[in-house]
């Protein structure tokens, strides 16, 4: 991927992360006091979709930023290994997160 494409994707993710992060903070503050209020908050389809969007954007942001760190500090073979490990952890995190939305 070209550097200009990465730069554009980063900026789009930054812009998308701002409003969805504010929503997540408000969502968390309104439903952290009780398990029942969290279940009620997660029962609406809109909150489920927004939480999924927040998670996807956050994981993409983490992946891109860690890729930049790997490029700066590691040689090519270690960079590929750490990128693979990062992708695996992000995939496992996503699979562990999905049941929260659908059950």
pLDDT in tens, 50-87: 988 999 999 989 888 888 888 889 888 888 898 899 99
Handedness of CA 77, 82, 86, 88 (dihedral sign): positive
Q: Are 4 and 11 in contact (CB under 8 A)?
A: no
How many folded domains does the chain comprise? 1
pLDDT in tens, 80-98: 898 899 999 999 988 888 8
CATH code of the domain in which 69 resides: 1.20.1300
pTM for the model: 0.80
Helices 3-31 and 45-73: crossing angle in degrees, nearest 10, is: 140
pLDDT in tens, 39-50: 888 888 898 899
What is the residue range of 40's domain? 3-102
Q: Answer whether residue 3 shows pLDDT above 90.
A: no
């Amino acid at each position: 991927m070209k550097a200009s494409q990465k730069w554009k994707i980063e900026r789009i993710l930054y812009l998308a992360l701002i409003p969805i992060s504010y929503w997540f903070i408000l969502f968390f503050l309104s439903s952290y006091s009780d398990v029942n209020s969290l279940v009620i908050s997660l029962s609406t389809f809109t909150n489920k979709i927004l939480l999924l969007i927040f998670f996807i954007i956050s994981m993409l942001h983490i992946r891109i930023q860690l890729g930049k760190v790997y490029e700066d500090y590691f040689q090519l073979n270690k960079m590929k290994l750490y990128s693979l490990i990062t992708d695996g952890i992000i995939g496992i995190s996503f699979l562990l997160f999905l049941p929260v939305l659908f059950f």
